[in-house]
Amino acid sequence: MSAITTEGATISQTLIIDTIMPYSPSQKPIVAVNYNFPGPSIEAYENDTLVIRVINKLAQPTTVHWHGIFQIGTPDMDGAVGATQCAIPSSGEMTYRFRAYPAGTAWYHGHYLDQYADGLIGPLIIRRRVEPNQEQYDTERVLTVSDWYNDVARTKLLSWYLSKNNTKGIEPIPDAIVVNGKFSQSLFVKTSGATRIRFRIINAAAFSMYTVSIDGLPLHIIELDQTPVVPYTVSSFMINAAQRVSFYVNLNEFDQNFVPPDVPPTKSIYIRFKADMDMYPVDISSCIAPYATPYLPYPVFLNPLYLAILSLDSSNSLPTYPVNQATSRLSNRDFVNRQDVNILGVRPFSQTNNLVPCATHFLNIVITFRRDSNNITRGFLNNVTYGSDENNLSNKSISVQSITSDKIPLLHQMITTPNALGNPSPIITNESPLPVIQSDGNGHYLVPYQAVVDIRLENKDEDEHPFHLHGHSFWIISTSENPQAKQRYRGAYIQPDVVSVPGSGWAKIRFLANNSGAWVFHCRIEWHMYAGLIFAFIVGPDELLAHGYTSSDNQKLLCQ
């Protein structure tokens, strides 16, 4: 843990973005931060000021997004290329300065093309001076799980994914799972003598969703994304792309029956990350590596079960019991054995601070995938598919195939040419008794300042999609998997920044638009975002202008 700093300290850090090739003989260049993968953990206390100088040594432009940070008053520091800034050019740099708010397990990643899938990820831990549930644990460990691809996402996978050759529109299947930069059975997590340990799990994968468990131990969940929750005990949980889950374990609760009597006592146990195979476009379990599927241009060797080793002493020994022990023993556990993707049963720790306002506006978003007129399978939100080019959010719709981007980020347009944006205001329609948020057809939805917007995400696709809103968190009101949640948890919904929209189902979320700026809303599966599942909310442009907000000189330079 970092040393306690005084209230409102300034935390300065330099991040050098460059490529490394740490996994010889693999020749895959990883987009690393300070020559590490994942990047270094950035830590601060809530309300500290983070000053992060990002130096781009890549041959391509880059940006960094601080996932989970609201950026209230600093909308140009969000790092979403095209929405809030122009990209940092090769050999260029930018200093991000923002308030460390809200507290919780945040993370950072590249938001320029798919550098995130190529390695540009790292933890961003914002601590509270007093953590709810802090009496339950003595130390903590951060585990950042991500997909590993043998091929470079930017040059190979993405171009293949969005090509005519990909007739089925299937996503690149990862070749491996990697946690804290280590492959399966090579990551040793030391307890260092502690018996009560908090784990912060960050799913930084470009694609995969995982079931997380630790052999023989109940997991007491205490934080979802950045919302502290009343401890909620599970044997395993699912974590979707971009979600964060904190839980603590108490080694004294280890189920001794877990180790069969005929093996020596174990000095370590497995931490398991099991990829959800249902989301992959081919049946991994029926394949024997090495193999090649007829329509994949690259080999797939994925073992969906990743094993990290929790060392109970300093010996770094492997567990004495067989790996397949877990499945046979899970049903015998004496604690509650629940799995819940959205974990809607979890309650916020502080319910009095969590009175949910009534909605004032409504927006229905229909998610579909189909081929566009160029015969490329793309994702559509309300019949419009969006792409992100190097400097702007551009869009393609069924009727309009391309709109020339003017290379000025949305946020800058809000400041410099607000009248030219031409976003229609909300109107009453027969869709809802509430005024409905309107789109301008260019991927921009105008939201009045302080509006409380109910968004219904209607998923016509059979796969689950984790949607993320920048600049805000939101309440999950209910989903098709838990339609009663609205009544059951009235006034005490959890407030994450990612919602898993069930396949062929729906999710209803609500957010308070109290943060002026241009905020993207998108599927956090990297492939889907580039297939078009992204748009931007323009929140309170009048409020922004009324406060005389201007973007920094550094920002303006990037756009020249």
Residues near Cu ion (CB under 5 A): 465, 523, 525, 528
Which one, 465 or 510, has the nearer CB to Cu ion?
465
Q: Which is nearer to Cu ion, 18 or 458 (CB)?
A: 458
Q: How far is the CB of 364 from Cu ion (least distance, A)?
A: 18
Quick one: 122 or 466, whose CB is closer to Cu ion? 466
Position 27, amino acid: Q
Our CB check for Cu ion shows the closer of 396 and 528 to be 528
Closest approach of Cu ion to the CB of residue 528, in Å: 3
Our CB check for Cu ion shows the closer of 312 and 523 to be 523
Residue 537 beta carbon to Cu ion: minimum distance, rounded to whole angstroms: 18
Judged by DSSP in three states, 533 sits in coil
Q: How many residues does the chain have?
A: 560
CB of residue 317 to Cu ion, shortest distance in Å: 40
State the virtual CA torsion across 515, 489, 213, 529 in degrees, nearest 10. -40
506 vs 549 by CB, closer to Cu ion = 506
Smallest separation (angstroms) from Cu ion to the CB of 162: 14
Q: Shortest distance, CB of residue 78 to Cu ion, whole angstroms? A: 21
Q: Is 297 helix (H, G, I), strand (E, B) or coil?
A: coil
Rounded to the nearest whole angstrom, what is the least distance from the CB of residue 243 to Cu ion in the complex? 13
Least distance to Cu ion, CB of residue 439, Å? 19
Give whichever of 207 and 247 is closer to Cu ion, judged by the CB atom: 207
Residue 287 β-bridge partners:
none
β-pairing verdict for 361-371 and 452-459: parallel
| Among the listed residues 317, 313, 318, the one whose alpha carbon sits nearest the alpha carbon of residue 192 | 313
Give CA separation, 500 vs 145, 243, 476, 496, in Å: 18, 9, 10, 11
Asked whether the beta carbons of 92 and 56 are under 8 A apart, the reply is: yes
Provide, rounded to whole angstroms, the least separation between the CB of residue 525 and Cu ion.
4
**Rounded CA gap, 237 and 205, in Å?**
16
Q: Which is nearer to Cu ion, 222 or 536 (CB)?
A: 536
Nearer CB in complex with Cu ion: 376/523? 523
Query: How would DSSP label each residue in 144-207?
Result: EEEEE-SS-IIIIIHHHHTSTT-TT-PPPPPSEEEETTB-TT--EEE-TT-SEEEEEEEE--SS
* Whether the Cβ atoms of residue 388 and residue 534 lie closer than 8 Å to each other: yes
DSSP for 442-496 reads SSEEEE-TT-EEEEEEEE-SSS-EEEEETT---EEEEETTBTTHHHHTTT-----
- The least distance separating Cu ion from the CB of residue 371, rounded to whole angstroms, comes to 17
Q: What tokens does 454 get?
A: 């109910």
| Nearest residue (CB) to Cu ion, 154 versus 528 | 528
- Spell 166-180 as b/e; 16+ CB within 10 A means b: beebbbbbbbbbbbb
DSSP 328-362: HHGGG-SS-----SS-TT--BS-GGGGPPPPP-EE
Residue 268 DSSP class: E
Nearest CB to Cu ion, comparing residues 393 and 452: 393
| 547 close to 509: Cβ distance less than 8 angstroms | no
Q: Rounded to an integer, what distance in angstroms lies between the CA atom of residue 455 and that of residue 300?
A: 37
**Residue reference for tokens 């998610």:** 367
- Tell me which residue has tokens 């004294």: 252
Q: Name the minimum Å distance from CB 326 to Cu ion.
A: 29
Compare residues 393 and 525 and give the one whose CB is closer to Cu ion: 525
